[in-house]
Amino acid sequence: MNLIKIAGVGLLCWMMQSCGSSRKANSSAAVNVNELISTVVIKKKVPVRKIDVRTVVADDLVSFAETMLGVPYRYGSMKKENGFDCSGFINYVFNNFKITVPRTSSDFTNAGKEVKPGQSKRGDLILFTGSDANSGEVGHMGIVTENKKNNFTFIHASSGKGVMFSTLNSYFIPRFVKVIRIFP
């Protein structure tokens, strides 16, 4: 089992939903994750994944992802016409640039290079457990779109609202697993 210690950076709180969950955050107050420390135990063994991004620029990929805002949520789908689940959205965006990535969010557990949340930048992927913070398995993900003064935003396919922007909040913080960098 891998133990991942989570120590974050100051982030704005905003009420959002996660992929596969209908539970909403119960607080709209600002949350300082510098003060939060928790441990997520990854229970599922996931092989290391190498992703070849070749000559794609992270900013181009994120700009394309942002054109998907408002596409509805649909479990198990990676087709824009039908809607996306969280990993289907990631697949659709990366596949547009001919970058092959794992299909499911849990398969991203050992993909890319882990970076500290405060060092995240546009194009990094943010991983969470699913709606059960104690599941021990990555079950939701998004693409970091901005990191300003340790407050960052990500784009993801939410079960409640489809493709949307979110910041870390009281719903996401306990489910945060890590940020991974795919682009050099």
Identify the active-site residue in 156, 157, 159, 177.
156
Contacts of 77-81 with CB under 8 Å at 24 or more apart are 78/103
Q: In the predicted model, is pLDDT for residue 69 greater than 80?
A: yes
Whether residue 102 lies in the annotated active site = no
Contacts of 183 (CB under 8 A, 6+ apart): 53, 56, 57, 58, 61, 123, 124
Average pLDDT over residues 159-184: 91
Task: Please count the other Cβ atoms lying within 10 Å of the Cβ belonging to residue 120.
Answer: 22
Express each pLDDT in 109-132 by its tens digit: 999 999 998 899 999 999 999 988
With contact defined as beta carbons under 8 Å apart, do 133 and 145 qualify?
no
Whether residue 128 lies in the annotated active site = no
Name the band, by pLDDT with cuts 50, 70 and 90, for residue 29.
Answer: very low
Name the band, by pLDDT with cuts 50, 70 and 90, for residue 169.
Answer: confident
User: Which region holds residue 95: left if phi is over 0, alpha if psi is between -120 and 50, else beta?
Assistant: alpha
* Whether the model pTM is above 0.75: no
| Per-residue model confidence (pLDDT) at position 43 | 55
Whether residue 16 lies in the annotated active site = no
Identify the active-site residue in 14, 19, 111, 140.
140
Task: Please count the other Cβ atoms lying within 10 Å of the Cβ belonging to residue 160.
Answer: 14
Task: State the Cα–Cα distance between residues 183 and 123, nearest whole angstrom.
Answer: 7
- Give me the chain's average pLDDT, please: 78
Name the band, by pLDDT with cuts 50, 70 and 90, for residue 163.
Answer: very high
